[in-house]
Structure 1
């Protein structure tokens, strides 16, 4: 099978026009969705870009000039397929539809994806020309407000034109992914608390969870002991919806869309443990080191000023753990939200712990302000991973930001919606069986959802609570046992960053007739998996194949030696 030639059209001038009006272009996040999986595509940034060699065209932002629309419709009529992910009212009108943007609701996604519950979207780009009763919902459909709300439309609307077609997504996928992961506006004030009193985020402190966009009543579930938690990785599932449709449309043309596996061969999902060194008691560090050694786990230690004495830092490093930064912007403790204070505290840690590089940061108390200031500071100081986007309260644990993947955040329109060079790796919960926090009944549902996504189960434990509350230590042992039973591998944040950045350098150049990928780039020390979607009735013989993104895929293993010599 030939690899589909994919074009991604994000028109430069249309973006400039939006930025001039102080509007965001979250459609730029489509690049991150594709790049995360190493899906090959060609960037097209002008309305006059050549489409001659393109098989599948993803349109995230159009210049709706007559010339651009004429060229696009010509491409379709000649047999091209367009995956349309924008509103584009003029294009809608040209194809006999009316266009209107709507608010949040839920999408019932294709059955092949195996999503247990409908997936929350934050915005629609609704094209309509008929009544809901006449729409075929085989490939999914959207409802307004709640999962039991009024049917709005199919998830995908297909418009045939000549020999090709436009496949329009009624949900705004990139906007929904960004909005769930990062919010839809800068954090400038307290968020709305849970109506049942379980998560009072309106506490006078600006935090990551003040900008969350899920629904308190709809998007939380409860364990058998009554622990409420956000149960679904909604943002990750919208990624799956897009990749599923892209592969489906390629297969219809007898083509394939290969992609890079998330983890090395033999690993399907990762667990990671971080600690915040609040109060810096060396006795609590001793207990933590002993517990980690007993369980055979290496973890990430986020250090708050003034930190530990040098000998303890050396011991932590010698025992294989990662030393990281715990930036304190809590004014009640003498902290300050400013770039200079961030840099000062980080330099203090580097000096005391004898560190040339710090890979990871997590903000104390999940303090967060604005949109991207923290990410800029991390970039400037060479920090590669931030862990600040997690729950601050007992009642908003889980997939609060809809993801368990390490991802690159997008900037605000003031920075032209660029991608920050910092991986965000949020956590699910902290200090299980702490007397004021969640109990261990959340372990299994958290691990199950991360397994479905193939992501990272990130749990936070404070060293202090291992010292003061023996039940927390027992909960940690239980977590480790459950994770290993589910074949999770424990990595530090630094390990995750090194792998993720190296994996993204793997480039798929093509696929042979037999399904063998031609790959360049290298990941040292580990074998990389390449997945090649094939038709369901393919003659696989002795080929290894599994279902990924709702499609049967050949599993091709690229050894690191092969990658280095390709």
Structure 2
């Protein structure tokens, strides 16, 4: 069994011209999608394709008019070329016809158990009359409501020479970016929910002013009447792409080994973050007692002027994370700006004696596109938690994800990735009254389980101190998450794990199918090797990922040297 190599083709000259015009190339986010999935890949340009050996999988990212000939020749010689969208020249060369763009709408994917997935723009193709190539069509796309009649296939595969071209009607990287970060910078209030449950037009610029879901089609309702967004569409798009890629590669007789998302034995993570706001020592003591009773760690986001030294000492002694709670809300004396961010953070670091590497903005204040992430980078903040709901009626998977990810910059920064891990949250202060009740807890945890993400719940110590109902909800969150097998980590632990996982590279498989991995030690790390249909492995060594049976190989890496992984079970990393 051969480990396929993945290359992402990017015509840098074409990209530079587009950036000079101010054009965003969010298709470049395909690199983050692969890295997020634990896959090893290489960025390629025209010289690589003409001079070097061709990868088995070649993803067309940023191309210009002369590139289709080069990439199609790669397919003819045996590569599997993956295409998102593509101009009319691509369609003509493959014996297809590009139909008008459609959207927003929903795609039906060719995998069981996956609900229709929201997209904002799609370009379906249809096979032209007298087509020469063998064409396979899968899934469908349609504008309008989730049940609208199909307007074309989601995936079209063209057999070409010894290889083929797999073409997606939806630009998945661009779709994931739009769901996670919005379709434009936040410069004005968002539109409120028609039922009055989420008054986004409150005069405060916030993360949720720029969400891309539909109030009617994308929300569900609990038995008690709570409205919420139930679908992590962005996570589903990522998994749909990888699942299709694994199947396509498997049909070619190859495999694509990858680093599993969490340590061996863990399927999903839970996280509790706490926003200090009123900074009452008594509320901190109540919350610390509750955390000790439940036996979990938490991330304490502290806003100036903060707590007393006694409280900070207890937070650190009981092994919680001290984090930053940037105040940019003018109603509480805050200011939006780089200087204010840096000054507040520096003062808190001095007072607490802690570096603080995580942040969440007070009131989820947010504006522009990447300003906050740039400030985080400059000031040593490695992880942000600002992107979450501020109202009762827009809780849940508002930004289409519950998985940690690195956000992308706009064209003025050449669509680079920010070196800041975003860990969004699902809801605030359950049972508070003006926030939802605990009827949303089960669907939230189930939704996170299905995509192996992070169930991040935000509470305020002031409400835990004053409201018995909120304390009861807190205990229920912890009890139910533990019952379902969630492990509680801090934001700092999640960031450390995710960055450690991404520093590993898979260099290939030996004759026995054992992966070789390079990188620093990662306690509990596991390499998954998708197996061909009908393959056998020892009991307990095969698990299902992305709908594909995989053999797991826990890592043994010493001093960054290339050391074969071993078979069997490894230790968990408790974070």
* TM-score, normalised relative to structure 1: 0.95
Structure 1: unaligned runs, 5 residues or longer: none
The 3-state SS of whatever aligns with 1:151 is coil
CA contact (8 A) 2:136 2:158 kept: no
**Whole-Å Cα distance in 2 between the matches of residues 48 and 137 of structure 1?**
30
Aligned to 2:554: 557
Q: Give distance in 2, aligned partners of 1:297 and 1:73.
A: 54
**What is aligned with 2:31?**
31
Superposed displacement of residue 48, structure 1: 6.4
1:14 aligns with 2:11: no
CA distance in 2, matches of 1:200, 1:246: 41
Aligned equivalent of 2:5? 5
1:44-55 pair list within 5 angstroms:
44-46=44-46, 49-50=49-50, 52-55=53-56
Number of the residue aligned with 1:379: 377
Separation in structure 1 between the aligned mates of residue 137 and residue 65 of structure 2, nearest angstrom: 31
Query: Is the deviation greater in 367-376 or in 147-156?
Result: 147-156
* Structure 2 runs not aligned, ≥5 long: 564-575
Per-residue displacement from partner, 1:245-304 (whole Å, max 9, x unpaired)?
Answer: 221121111110011111111111100000000110111001000000000011000011
What corresponds to 1:226 in structure 2?
225
Give the deviation of 1:106 after TM superposition.
Answer: 0.8
Determine the structure 2 residue equivalent to 1:442.
440
1:532-543 to 2 correspondences below 5 Å: 532-542=529-539
Residue 107 of structure 1 pairs with residue 107 of structure 2: yes
Taking a change above 3 Å as real, the CA distance of residues 401 and 137 of structure 1, as seen in their structure-2 partners, is farther
Tell whether 2:265 aligns with 1:266. yes
Residue 561 of structure 1 and its aligned partner are, at CA, apart by: 5.4
Query: How does 1:52-63 map onto structure 2 within 5 Å?
Result: 52-63=53-64
Task: Decide which moves more: 288-297 or 155-164.
Answer: 155-164
1:455 aligns with 2:456: no
User: 1:341 is paired with a residue of what secondary structure?
Assistant: helix
Aligned counterparts of 1:298 and 1:261: Cα–Cα separation in 2: 24
The answer as to whether partners of 1:2 and 1:513 remain within 8 angstroms in 2 is no
- Determine if contact 1:47/1:63 at 8 Å carries over to the other structure: no
**Deviations 1:331-370, CA, capped at 9 Å, x for gaps:** 1121111000001111111111112x11110000000000
- 2:498 is aligned with 1:497: no
SS at match of 2:22: coil
Q: For 1:281 and 1:201, locate their aligned partners in 2 and report how far apart those are by CA, in whole Å.
A: 29
TM-score by length of 2: 0.94
Asked if the contact 1:61–1:86 (Cα under 8 Å) also holds between the matched residues in 2, the reply is no
Q: CA offset at residue 562 of structure 1?
A: 9.2
Query: C-alpha distance in 2, partners of 1:518/1:425?
Result: 30
CA pair 94-392 structure 1, distance change in 2 beyond 3 A: same
Q: Check the 8 A contact 1:87/1:126 in 2, yes or no.
A: no
Q: CA deviation at 1:180?
A: 0.1
1:230-249 equivalence runs, <5 A: 230-249=229-248
Partner of 2:481: 483
- Structure 1 CA distance for aligned equivalents of residues 47 and 559 of structure 2: 39
In the alignment, the residues of structure 2 paired with residue 34 and residue 161 of structure 1 have an alpha-carbon distance, to the nearest angstrom, of 25
How far, CA to CA, are the matches of 1:314 and 1:325 in structure 2? 16
Preserved CA contact (<8 Å) 1:503 1:523: no
The Cα shift of 1:513 comes to 3.1
CA contact (8 A) 1:330 1:336 kept: yes
Q: Kindly indicate whether the alpha-carbon contact (under 8 Å) linking 2:137 and 2:155 is maintained by their aligned counterparts in 1.
A: no
Residue 97 of structure 1: how far off its partner (Å): 2.6
* 1:88–1:44 distance in 2 versus 1, CA, 3 Å: farther
- 1:42 is aligned to 42
Considering only aligned residues, what root-mean-square deviation do their CA atoms show, in Å?
Answer: 1.8
User: Is residue 532 of structure 2 the alignment partner of residue 531 of structure 1?
Assistant: no
- Asked whether the 8 Å contact 2:54–2:79 carries over to 1, the reply is no
User: Secondary structure of the residue that 1:124 maps to in structure 2?
Assistant: coil
In structure 2, how many angstroms separate the alpha carbons of the residues matched to 1:150 and 1:170?
Answer: 16
Shift of 1:521: 1.2
Point out the more displaced range, 482-491 or 313-322: 313-322
Q: Which deviates more from structure 2 when the two are superposed, residues 84-93 or residues 163-172? A: 84-93
Aligned length, in residue pairs: 557
1:122–1:175 CA contact under 8 A, matched in 2: no
| Bigger mean CA offset, 368-377 vs 80-89 | 80-89
